[in-house]
Chain A
Amino acid sequence: MGRIGITTTVPSEVIFAAGHTPVDLNNIFIGDEQPMRFLEQAEEVGYPRNICGWIKGLYSVAVEAGDLDAVVAVTQGDCSNTHALMETLELAGIKTIPFAYPFDRDYDLLKMQIEKLMAALGTNWDEVKRVQERMRPIRRKLAEIDRMTWQDNVISGWNNHLYQVCSSDFNGDMDAFEAWVDELIEKSADAPERTDSIRLAYIGVPPIYTDLYSYLEKRGARVVFNEVQRQFAMPSDAEDLVEQYRAYTYPYRVFDRLDDIKAELERRNIDGVIHYVQSFCYRQIEDMIFREKLDLPILTVEGDKPGKLDARTKLRLDSFLEMLE
């Protein structure tokens, strides 16, 4: 049994089915007490300053870990910087396995990618389906956490983010993860209903800021929709694994994401949208599509380095909340 790093959400069913432990490098990076050191390490070996902080973080985390048997890297549907990330990881002696989400959500191509991953890690459909069924109740519980966030109003925006974002690798242990999820559901069932004056949606990749959710909540606003994090948890509940990863909106066209976002904004009674973009990321361009297609007020927040919110971003958040009141 080995440890397999991942650069973003991939079919973790395949990794577990092959008897390995998936390790989402993003979570190790941002969960570290001093995530900034990973950026510095990457820049010291030659990563440019004007490149996404996440890529640099992933690189250094993988190199520092030293015990990864391979890294599954998403070469299409996430970020083209990943190509150079793979190459530099190879340079550092780390094996990489490419995984590509087909841009047009083609069923056959996606199935082939999943089967390639199965072959690379050494497993088969029977095992993968067994794991998929093991995950199903956990994924449903994550959907329940999400529902309790926006409908019962008993769960914070941060917990909504955290539990769903961790479903990319189930923290490497499905049983322990499920117990952790159960605990939150149980604890929250009797929690008093929150009476926030402003309900926010958070769209875009997870934030590199560590205190965004708590900052908003201190000011009477709560995130009740975390778009991409919810997608990581695979809310489609599809029978077929290929369909499950086709329904997963993040790696495909932005217009598919838009359909999902629009439906959720409506259902969750949202006052305003925070669109998070990472500095130097191509997804910054897509901001203009959201601004054109969404009817709610949007604040675009750009994050570069890990850590607490900077004064300027706080000022912009304050003004946005002030405007929504």
Chain B
Amino acid sequence: MICGIDLGSRSVKLVLADSDGSIKEKHIFSTVDFYREYGRVDEEGLRIDFAKLGIEGIEAVASTGYGRNTLDVVGSMVIPELKAHVLGVVEQTGLTDFTLIDLGGQDSKVIKVRKGRMVDFATNDKCAASTGRYLENMAAVLNISMEELSKHSKDPVELNSTCAIFGESELIGRIVEGHSTAVLAAGVNASIVKRIKPMVRPLLSDTLVLTGGVALGEAMKVLLQEAFGRDVIVPCEPQLNGAIGCIRAVRMKQEKGK
């Protein structure tokens, strides 16, 4: 079995696959719970308690994610985060020329890929307004679930604040004006698209791929399609994409070694 781990800022994604890459198990943990329950830090880095996770027979582990700059997973192959995401898309879709938009817990990444290789990228820096954490805050203000929030893309209300904190008070102002939850939710989703547009524009391809937790639900896909006038592909497992990329990296290395 090969284990791919994506140590995200909000959740840890763990995927187990056969040597041929077919997925056998998938797990998503809250980051805090994962480190508390299954992780232990010693001099060498982060040691994962696979026995406690109930996972046996692991031949190779590869890890990626925000966490890996502070902690290396002991005994694992470390994959740079953007590379893991590119490999994940290649594995899941078979595409080789595309622009990937990955919207995660604190990250937004845009990666231009040609012939299966990253040729340019942009990531958010210094501000996490266009990310999942922003959506979580806004869903809480609207008193709806993330699942509900991610359904709405029609007639978005205008939201201008680029700050995830001040955005809340702007949204409350809109609620007071009497707008429906549906158009308020659409407004929240549209504000993310507005925010990442300048990052995507210089890196545009004919094909857009959307991954990350924010890709769950239809709204973001629809809004991106409208914004850029082209199809947006969401792979089967958008949230597990990085972990799946890790598995592909291990398999590529094994192939090379043969």
Which A residues are closer than 8 A to B by beta carbons? 279, 291, 297, 302, 304, 311-316, 318-320, 322-323
Contact = CB atoms under 8 A, between A and B. Distances in A.
A319 B126 contact: no
A324 to B, nearest CB: 10
B83 A314 contact: no
A314 B69 CA distance: 7
Interface in B96-129: 117-121, 123, 125-126
A319 B121 contact: yes
Given A304-B126, A312-B66, 10 more contacts: A311-B70, A312-B123, A315-B80, A319-B81, A319-B82, A320-B121, A322-B82, A322-B83, A323-B82, A323-B118
B125 A312 contact: yes
Contact of B69 (A315, A320, A322, A323): A315
Interface in B56-83: 66, 69-70, 80-83
B83 A316 contact: no
Given A311-B69, A323-B118, A279 B83 contact: no
Q: Which of B123, B125, B202 has the most CB of A within 10 A?
A: B125
30 contacts: A279-B126, A291-B202, A297-B119, A297-B120, A304-B126, A311-B69, A311-B70, A312-B66, A312-B125, A313-B125, A314-B69, A315-B66, A315-B123, A316-B125, A318-B69, A318-B80, A318-B81, A319-B80, A319-B82, A319-B83, A319-B118, A319-B123, A322-B80, A322-B82, A322-B83, A322-B118, A323-B118, A323-B119, A323-B120, A323-B121
Interface in B123-155: 123, 125-126
Contacts of A304: 126
Contacts of B66: 311-312, 315
Interface residues of B, number: 16
B103 to A, nearest CB: 16
B5 to A, nearest CB: 16
A169 to B, nearest CB: 31
Interface of B: 66, 69-70, 80-83, 117-121, 123, 125-126, 202
A269 B200 CA distance: 29
List 5 A-B pairs, minimum CB-CB distance, nearest first: A311-B69, A319-B82, A322-B80, A318-B80, A314-B69
Q: Which of B69, B81, B83 has the most CB atoms of chain A within a 10 A radius of its CB?
A: B69
Nearest to A279: B126
- Chain B contact surface mostly: mixed
B198 to A, nearest CB: 10
Contacts of B121: 319-320, 323
B81 A315 contact: yes
A297 to B, nearest CB: 7
A81 B69 CA distance: 35
A148 B81 CA distance: 35
Given A291-B202, A297-B120, A322-B83, A302 B69 contact: no
Q: Which of A304, A313, A323 has the most CB of B within 10 A?
A: A323
Contacts of B83: 319, 322
Contacts of B81: 315, 318-319
Contacts of A279: 126
Contacts of A314: 69
B120 to A, nearest CB: 7
A249 B81 CA distance: 37
B100 to A, nearest CB: 12
A291 B81 CA distance: 24
Nearest to A291: B202
A304 B70 CA distance: 20
A220 B83 CA distance: 18
Nearest to B117: A323
A311 B80 CA distance: 12
A316 B123 contact: yes
Contacts of B69: 311, 314-315, 318
Nearest to B122: A300
B8 to A, nearest CB: 12
Contacts of B80: 315, 318-319, 322
Contacts of A313: 125
A279 B82 CA distance: 24
Contacts of B70: 311
B118 A302 contact: no
A128 to B, nearest CB: 43
Contacts of A312: 66, 123, 125
Contacts of B125: 302, 312-313, 316
Nearest to A297: B120
Contacts of A291: 202
B68 to A, nearest CB: 8
A318 B118 CA distance: 13
A313 B83 CA distance: 16
